[in-house]
A and B are shown apart, each in its own frame.
Chain A
Amino acid sequence: MSTPVPVPKEGGDGTVGAGRTPAPLARLSSWLQSAKAERYIGFVFVAPWVIAFLCFELIPTASAFIYSLTDWSIVGGANFIGLANYQEMFTRDRLFVKSLENTLYYALLSVPLNVMAGFIIALMLNAKVRGQTIFRTLFYLPALIPSVAGAVVWIWILDTNNGVLNFFLGLFGVEKIRWLTSPAWSKPALVIMSLWTIGSGMVIYLAGLQNVPQELYEAAEVDGASVLQKLLRITIPLMTPTIFFNLLMGIIGSFQVFNAAFIMTGGGPVNSTLFYMLHIYEQAFTHWRMGYASALSVVLFVLVLVLTTVVNRTSKRWVFYG
């Protein structure tokens, strides 16, 4: 595109400056003040991120798809093997199926529970309770605890013989549960632990609740609406965008759950907490099957993409954008 105004190579001060400063610098400084520079200066600002995005995000993501078609291990080269990795996954890799089941189990249980519990606590705090800020802080604190420190103490809390949870349940006559050492209880144990950090979702809900116009409630009260009606007809519909956001983030997060299971159970017992991420980790960094692990991660990528798209599609029916 031709520029309507010819860009001056040296402006009025350019000739003066040329005598003092080296020519390239003078040209640079006059260019910086030109209209053309004004149009492109933004590139300079976003350039670091663009470089980082290309090097650390786009290229690695794209190469995952290429690696997934190879038998690359950490030593030696990579051979192109077509779709053999994917074939192995769907026909021979029992742990692939198992880890997918485990992840779905965890996601289906923990995401709805987290979304609901966080919302309910936010609703209670929003009901003009005294000490709202204190409660908010107390509920938010667990979300701050470093995940490794959290995992280490939960191992101790969930301990079968000396754990404080079994002690507490024992007061109600419940027999000792083998939380982390029985395949039946290991996943529920991790779900319970995930509920410990509902604080971060709760804070988001609280902010959303503050944005619900008070006039709506006042008008509803004039019309004699009950507490339940106000909740169902005003609060929940107006909160659907926030609920949707937490739901989406919860799904994406739950499919990549790693730290707690890796630290607390290492995927056991009997692979009952071998989540998808742990399977990828083991294939990559224990067996050094980089090609196969890439194929696994591509499948997870597609899975998360499909799920978020589906949730997004349904959102048109239930999310209310005022």
Chain B
Amino acid sequence: MTTTTLKRPGYYLGRSLIYALLITGSVVALMPMFWTLSTSLKTLDQINIWPPRLIPDPIAWRNYIEVFDYVPVALYLRNTLIIVAAWVTGATVTCSFVAYGFARTNFPGRNILFVVLLSTLMMPYVVRLIPLFMIYKSIGWIETFYPLTVPILLGRNAFYIFLLRQFFIGVPDEIADAARIDGCSHFGIWWRIVMPLSKPALATVAVFAFQSSWDDFLGPMIYMGSNPDLRTLAVGLYAFRSSPGQLPMTHYMMAMSVMMILPILLVFAFGQRYFIQGVTLSGLKG
């Protein structure tokens, strides 16, 4: 009792300080996003006025239509979605299949393979970048979707496999045993029992796969970027920025950025729980 009363003035000072810092921090965190939106709705002559105006006046909604005259956004979106679809499928089906093998079957060398799997998480990706490019080139995969879709469709993502394995281990043995007695094979247990029971974990890897394939820049640029028809949104936005510009295009670039940010925010809004769960799991290795 006495200690709490003694602490009071300091306590409130500390609290106010914390709130002040948190509010300042979140304003700073949100500012670039707000600035993207604000700039995307400005007319050209409003962009370069000093001091900068936070709220555009008038609001130039037409930027979002005019940007399509300069950039084939629909084409870029289609290309991006092809890769995203492969990633989400690979993460939820193939990686899940592999994770089942690590979590619920026992075979000679399983533990060694699992250590190899985990060690690939720590491998700098740079070292395989150039040989991969040469391999893809020699088999005619450059300027195709294969380099960005085939590996993940084969389950080349240690992180997703690891997350799913952690979850699969937790599926009660009794359920799997009961299914076995009823004559269910491992494939049946995986598909009919473990998969439906693991919807939260599958959602987690799905949102992760969506985010990283939506965000990926280096891969699409190196393997497909030389063909303008195969650019993704990320590569397209970069190409738009670095194209020798005759006109200042800042407002259009921001409009395109907003179009790139919105889907990921929507996915986050619906799958926030899974995002946080995934990040959390990644940090607390079991």
**A53-B242 Cα distance, complex, nearest whole Å:** 35
Kindly identify which residue among B127, B131, B186 contacts A300, using a CB–CB cutoff of 8 Å. B127
With CB as the reference atom, state the residue of chain B lying closest to A130.
Answer: B19
Given A56-B156, A141-B29, A207-B280, A42 and B285 contact (CB-CB distance below 8 Å)? no
B134, A199: Cβ atoms closer than 8 Å: no
Instruction: Please give, as numbers and ranges, the residues of chain B lying within 8 Å of A53 by CB-CB distance.
Output: 116-117, 120, 156
**Whole-angstrom distance between the Cβ of B282 and the nearest chain A Cβ:** 7
A145, B98: Cβ atoms closer than 8 Å: no
A259, B218: Cβ atoms closer than 8 Å: yes
**A157-B108 Cα distance, complex, nearest whole Å:** 56
B-contacting residues, A242-274, CB 8 Å: 242, 245-246, 248, 252, 255-256, 258-259, 263, 266
Judged by a CB distance under 8 angstroms, whether A69 is at the interface is: no
B-contacting residues, A8-60, CB 8 Å: 32, 39-46, 48-53, 55-57, 59-60
Which of A86-94, A107-115, A180-188, A290-298 is near enough to bind chain B? A290-298
**A224-B2 Cα distance, complex, nearest whole Å:** 12
Chain B contact residues: helix, strand, loop or mixed:
helix
A-contacting residues, B8-54, CB 8 Å: 14-15, 18-19, 21-22, 25-26, 28-33, 35-36, 39, 47-48, 50-52
Given A48-B94, A242-B283, A252 and B32 contact (CB-CB distance below 8 Å)? no
A57, B154: Cβ atoms closer than 8 Å: no
**Whole-angstrom distance between the Cβ of A245 and the nearest chain B Cβ:** 6
B113, A147: Cβ atoms closer than 8 Å: no
A41, B151: Cβ atoms closer than 8 Å: no
Given A149-B237, A152-B241, A64 and B131 contact (CB-CB distance below 8 Å)? yes
B126, A280: Cβ atoms closer than 8 Å: yes
Q: A117-161, CB under 8 A of B: which get 1 and which 0?
A: 000010011010100000111111110111111101111110001
A284, B130: Cβ atoms closer than 8 Å: yes
Judged by a CB distance under 8 angstroms, whether B250 is at the interface is: yes
Instruction: Please give, as numbers and ranges, the residues of chain B lying within 8 Å of A139 by CB-CB distance.
Output: 25-26, 29
Q: B148-168, CB under 8 A of A: which get 1 and which 0?
A: 000100111000010000000
B128, A64: Cβ atoms closer than 8 Å: yes
**Whole-angstrom distance between the Cβ of B253 and the nearest chain A Cβ:** 6
Given A147-B215, A164-B52, A142 and B29 contact (CB-CB distance below 8 Å)? yes
Instruction: Please give, as numbers and ranges, the residues of chain B lying within 8 Å of A63 by CB-CB distance.
Output: 131, 134-135
Q: B114-140, CB under 8 A of A: which get 1 and which 0?
A: 001100101111111111111101000
Instruction: Please give, as numbers and ranges, the residues of chain A lying within 8 Å of B95 by CB-CB distance.
Output: 49
**Whole-angstrom distance between the Cβ of A24 and the nearest chain B Cβ:** 18
Kindly identify which residue among A55, A127, A263, A285 contacts B238, using a CB–CB cutoff of 8 Å. A263
**Whole-angstrom distance between the Cβ of A74 and the nearest chain B Cβ:** 8
Given A64-B130, A245-B285, A42 and B110 contact (CB-CB distance below 8 Å)? yes
Judged by a CB distance under 8 angstroms, whether B200 is at the interface is: no
Instruction: Please give, as numbers and ranges, the residues of chain A lying within 8 Å of B47 by CB-CB distance.
Output: 162
Q: A274-304, CB under 8 A of B: which get 1 and which 0?
A: 0001001000110000100110011011001
Judged by a CB distance under 8 angstroms, whether B260 is at the interface is: yes
Kindly identify which residue among B122, B125, B218, B284 contacts A308, using a CB–CB cutoff of 8 Å. B122
A304, B283: Cβ atoms closer than 8 Å: no
10 interchain pairs, CB-CB under 8 A: A45-B97, A49-B161, A60-B131, A61-B128, A144-B275, A149-B257, A152-B254, A162-B52, A204-B282, A277-B126
Interface, chain A (partner B; CB < 8 A): 32, 39-46, 48-53, 55-57, 59-61, 63-64, 67, 72, 74, 121, 124-125, 127, 129, 135-142, 144-150, 152-157, 161-162, 164, 167, 196, 199-200, 203-205, 207-208, 211, 224, 227, 242, 245-246, 248, 252, 255-256, 258-259, 263, 266, 277, 280, 284-285, 290, 293-294, 297-298, 300-301, 304, 308
Additional 18 contacts, C-beta under 8 A, given A32-B185, A161-B50? A52-B155, A57-B156, A59-B131, A60-B132, A67-B134, A127-B18, A129-B19, A135-B22, A139-B26, A152-B241, A152-B257, A153-B32, A196-B32, A200-B279, A203-B283, A290-B134, A300-B124, A301-B127
